Amino acid sequence: MKPNFTALTALLGLTLFSLTNTGASAGPVADRIANGQPIRIGFASEVPYAYPDANNQPAGFANVIALGALKEMGYTNIEPVVTEWGGLIPGLQSGRFDIITGGMYILKSRCENVLFAEPLAKTGEAFIVQPGNPKGLSNYKDLVSKNATMVANTGSSVIEQAKKDGVQDSQIIQVPGMPEILATVESGRADAGVSAFLELKEVAKKAGGKVEVTDPKAFPESYQNWVGIAFSKDDAEFVAKFNQAQKKFIGTPEMMKAVAPYDYDKNMLPDGKTAEWVCANR
């Protein structure tokens, strides 16, 4: 089933501007709203978390949940801004956009630079490997013991986690996005592509048997991650209101229907962990 964002737009009552690359800076999001300006949501092309669909409109379950919470707050004037993954936090800090909806893991290192809303999903990591998984790679420790090479998005949290398990810089290739990850694995320049399981599942499905996805359960439970929407540190008051709205929206039949096309199910609902706890423990 393909996501229908036109139907979603009608469902949420959104007013969407076209995708933009403007770089004008601005103050806190509440100031922009007071001045009648749209709320700019920033995301990369990270299927199924957040990405532009065929009509260049925001798709993915993180966008669905963020837009649903904003609508609950009464805000429907939205402007999507697409950038590369590595440009999301710098773009938020520079005022290029107001909110990161891009399916970002909540991590201690990121919490130092942005303010996360409460988690909207719980998920895990996996590898894409060549068919048959010739090197038998299932987790980071396998990369270390077999001196294998991994590829990941520049700035991705998986790089930090891999290094914690002993993977060396010489074993890590960083690329701009998922198409480059896939190409690097397909060509054999890397033994494993690393990202979130759901994203890799989608990539493998479209790759027509050129790669396969490893079992995310091969990673320790401590490597489970929580996804959250990120804001500027100047927007604490707005985030508190956003949290209240997201709590009303998340898990409702309306939300679950809207995120179903992105393989988000009840098993991915956050388990009560707060952003504060995740920031301290991830």
Give the per-residue SS3 of 150-187. Answer: EEEECCCHHHHHHHHCCCCHHHEEEECCHHHHHHHHHC
> Cβ distance 204 to 129 under 8 Å?
no
Strand 172-175 and strand 212-213: the pairing is: unpaired
Domains 5-122+226-281 and 125-223 fall in the same CATH topology: yes
Strand 15-16 and strand 225-231: the pairing is: unpaired
Half-sphere exposure of 69 (CA within 13 A, CB side): 27
Report if pTM > 0.75: no
Apex 109 CA angle, 108 and 115, nearest 5: 70
Q: Provide the 3-class DSSP secondary structure of residue 37.
A: coil
Short-list 229, 245, 243, CA closest to 73:
245
At position 218, the amino acid (one-letter code) is: A
The third-level CATH classification (topology) of the domain covering 5-122+226-281 is: D-Maltodextrin-Binding Protein; domain 2 (3.40.190)
Q: What are phi and psi of 88, to 5 degrees?
A: -70, -55
> Cβ distance 81 to 19 under 8 Å?
yes
Ordered per-residue pLDDT tens for the chain, 282 residues: 445 555 555 556 666 655 554 444 445 899 999 999 999 999 999 888 999 998 888 999 999 999 999 999 999 999 999 999 999 999 999 999 999 998 899 999 999 999 999 999 988 899 999 999 999 999 999 999 999 999 999 988 899 999 999 999 999 999 999 999 999 999 999 999 999 888 898 899 899 999 999 998 898 878 888 999 999 999 999 999 999 999 999 999 999 999 999 989 888 899 889 999 999 998
Q: Tell me how far apart the alpha carbons of residues 167 and 246 are, in angstroms, rounded to a whole number.
A: 37
> What is the domain partition of the chain in residue ranges?
5-122+226-281, 125-223
> Which class would CATH give 125-223?
alpha beta
Omega within 30 of 0 (cis) for the link into 28: no
Half-sphere exposure of 251 (CA within 13 A, CB side): 15
